[in-house]
Chain A
Amino acid sequence: MNYDALLNVTARDIPPSGIRRFFDIAAEMDDVISLSVGEPDFQTPWHVRDVAIDSLQKGHTGYSPNRGFTALCREICDYYERKFHLSYDYRTDVVVTVGGSEAIDLAVRALVNPGDEVLVPQPSFVCYAPIAALTGAKVVPIVTRRENEFRLTADALREKITDRTKLLILPYPNNPTGAVMRREHLEEIAAVLRDTDIMVLADEIYSELTYNGTPHVSIASIDGMKERTVVVNGFSKSYAMTGWRLGYALGPAPVIAVMTKIHQYAIMCAPTTSQYAAIDALHSGDGDIAAMRDEYDLRRRLIVNGFRELGLDCFEPEGAFYIFPSIARTGMTSEAFCQKLLETKHVAVVPGNAFGDCGEGFIRVSYAYSTHHIEEALRRIRLFLKEEGLI
C-alpha cells in the first residue's frame, strides 16, 4: 500500500526530530557522558511513591472523574493560590491531564481554528509548532535573543501580531535557554495583549525551578491577564515525576470546559495512581522541591562557571535546568559541534537549532546530573576544544 498517500498530510509533513541520529550514535557508545536529557536525575520522593503504592494496595484501580479527582483539583488550586497568588475555582477552572504535554495539546485544540496564527517564541520546547500545525494553524516564530537574555520583548511581540493572531505561547522558565520572565517583563507583554482578543498559553512546567531568589511570576497574575490565559503546569520537573505522566491546566471556565471535553473523548482521565501520588506531592512536597532546587542551583553555578572558563559565552540562566552557551566562536555549526564532540569525546549535548532556527550557534546543556558527571563532561569538552585549537 502507498502509505504516503494514505497518511494525514499535515501529520506526515511534520519534520521528524533532527537530533534523533545523535541519540542513535550515543546509544552505541558504552562510555558516553550525556548532558542531553531533559528530566530530573532525582527520583520521586518516597512519601509520594508510598501514597501511590498504598492506593494500589487498597484497590483504587478504576477511572477517576474526567477532569480529575476533586481532591486533586482542590490541591492544585490551593497550590496556585499559595505560590502564585491566583484564585481558581476547583470545580470549573482546572483539568488534570496526562503530563503538561496533553494540557498544551488540549489548550491549542480548544482555542485554535484553521488559519489562525499561533505565536511561538523560540528557542523553545519542540512540541508547540507541531501541535499547532495539526490544528491547521499558521505557526509564527518569534525570535528571542541572547542580548535580551532570551526574553520575549514587547517590541518583538508587537511586530508579529496580525488580525489573525489567536494564541501566544509563553514558555518561561524556558527550555532550552533557562531564561525567565520577571514581573516587569510580563507587565510589558500584558500591556501589548490587554486590549486584544489574543489568548496566552503559559507553559509553567519549570515554575518551581528558578534561582537567584526570584520566584516565578505567572502572567495570569498580572492585571487583566487571568481571563486571557491558560496556565499549564505539571509534576514532572518540580517533583521528579516524569514517568507518572501528570499535568494540569488552569484557565477561564469556558476554555477549560472545552479542553475537558476533548480530554474526555481522547483520554478519558489521567492515570488514577498518579493522581493519588500528586495529591500527596502538592500537599507535602514543598520541602522536596526546595531540596532539589538547592541542588540544581549548585550544579548550575558549577557548569556556568565551567563553560565560561572554557571561553564559551554563556548567559546566566535563572530557571529550568539547562544552560545555553554560544559556540559561535568555534566557527562550527551547532550540529557539527555536537556531532564532533560526540564522535571524538563521547559527550552528548543538544544542538540549539533543535529548538528553532534561531538556536543556531548555541548548544543546550542539561545539568540534571551529578557534579561528578558534570566535571567529567567539562574535562572532555576542554580536551575537545584544545584539540580543535580553540583554547
Chain B
Amino acid sequence: MDKILTILKDNPRLTNAQIAAMVGQTEEAVGEAIADYERRGIICGYKTVIDWEKVELTEKVTAIIELKVTPRRDTGFEKIAEEIMAFDEVESVSLMSGGYDFSVGVTGHTFKEVALFVAKRLAPIQSVISTQTTFILKRYKQAGIILSPAQADERGADIL
C-alpha cells in the first residue's frame, strides 16, 4: 500500500510537512498526492472517532438495521441504496451476503427517534420487504480504535 495512505489511515492529523519527512518527499509532492487521492475518490473523507458516552449532555443512539429488499429489475440494489443513504440519519449502508441484503447504521437522540425513523422512512421505501432493528448498547472498538477504558502502557519504564 502507498505509504501516505498507510500513514493517513492511522493518523489524519499529521501535517503535510510531517508526512513529507516520514516518506522522504517534498511537502508539495505530498500535498499533490493527497489531493489526487481525494479527486479520485480513494480518500473519501476524514472523520474523528468520538466516544460520545464520555461527553456530558450528549445522548446518541445507534442501531443497525437489517433490511431485506427485492432488487429492482433494471437497477438491482443500486437505486435502493441511493434512496437509503440520502437520509442524514443514515451513517452507513452496506450490501451484505447471507440472510439479509442491506446493513444500515442509523443514529438518533433516542431509541424512539431511531425506531420511528425506521418505521416512517426506511420501511416504506419501495422494494423493502422487512426490517429488523438492533441497537448498539456499548462500543468497545471502532475504526480500529479501542474506545474505553484507555489502555495503560504496561511497558517497564525502568528498563533502559
Instruction: Report the nearest A residue to B24, measured CB to CB.
Output: A301
B42 within 8 A of A: no
**A305 lies within 8 A of B21 (CB):** yes
In the complex, chain B residues whose CB is within 8 Å of the CB of A375 = 11, 13-14, 18
CA distance A153 to B14 in the complex (A): 39
CA distance A23 to B157 in the complex (A): 7
In the complex, chain B residues whose CB is within 8 Å of the CB of A305 = 17-18, 21-22
**A17 lies within 8 A of B21 (CB):** no
**B156 lies within 8 A of A39 (CB):** yes
In the complex, chain A residues whose CB is within 8 Å of the CB of B153 = 34, 37, 41
CA distance A353 to B11 in the complex (A): 34
**B155 lies within 8 A of A301 (CB):** no
Mask of A290-317 contacts with B, CB within 8 angstroms, 1/0: 0000000011011011100000000000
Interface residue tally for chain A (C-beta within 8 Å): 31
CA distance A37 to B160 in the complex (A): 7
If over half of B's interface residues share one DSSP class (helix, strand or loop), that class is named, otherwise mixed; here it is loop
Mask of B1-24 contacts with A, CB within 8 angstroms, 1/0: 001001100110110011001111
**A38 lies within 8 A of B10 (CB):** no
CA distance A176 to B155 in the complex (A): 18
**B158 lies within 8 A of A17 (CB):** yes
A363 within 8 A of B: no
Chain B 109-160 interface residues, beta-carbon cutoff 8 Å to A: 153, 155-160
CA distance A49 to B22 in the complex (A): 31
In the complex, chain A residues whose CB is within 8 Å of the CB of B11 = 370-372, 375
CB distance from B29 to the nearest CB of A (A): 15
**B18 lies within 8 A of A39 (CB):** no
Number of interchain pairs (Cβ within 8 Å):
64
**B156 lies within 8 A of A371 (CB):** no
CA distance A125 to B159 in the complex (A): 10
A126 within 8 A of B: yes
**A298 lies within 8 A of B157 (CB):** no
In the complex, chain A residues whose CB is within 8 Å of the CB of B21 = 301-302, 304-306
**A38 lies within 8 A of B159 (CB):** yes
From B7, B24, B158, contact of A371 by CB (8 A): B7
A51 within 8 A of B: no
| Contact A298 to B7, CB < 8 A, known contacts A34-B153, A37-B153, A305-B18 | yes
In the complex, chain B residues whose CB is within 8 Å of the CB of A370 = 10-11
**B159 lies within 8 A of A298 (CB):** no
| Contact A38 to B14, CB < 8 A, known contacts A298-B3, A298-B23, A371-B7 | no
**Most chain B CB atoms below 10 A, which of A38, A355, A371, A372:** A371
CA distance A297 to B93 in the complex (A): 37
Mask of A209-229 contacts with B, CB within 8 angstroms, 1/0: 000000000000000000000
Beyond A299-B22, A350-B160, list 14 extra A-B contacts (CB 8 Å).
A17-B158, A17-B160, A37-B155, A37-B157, A37-B159, A39-B156, A126-B160, A175-B160, A301-B24, A304-B21, A305-B21, A355-B160, A370-B11, A375-B13
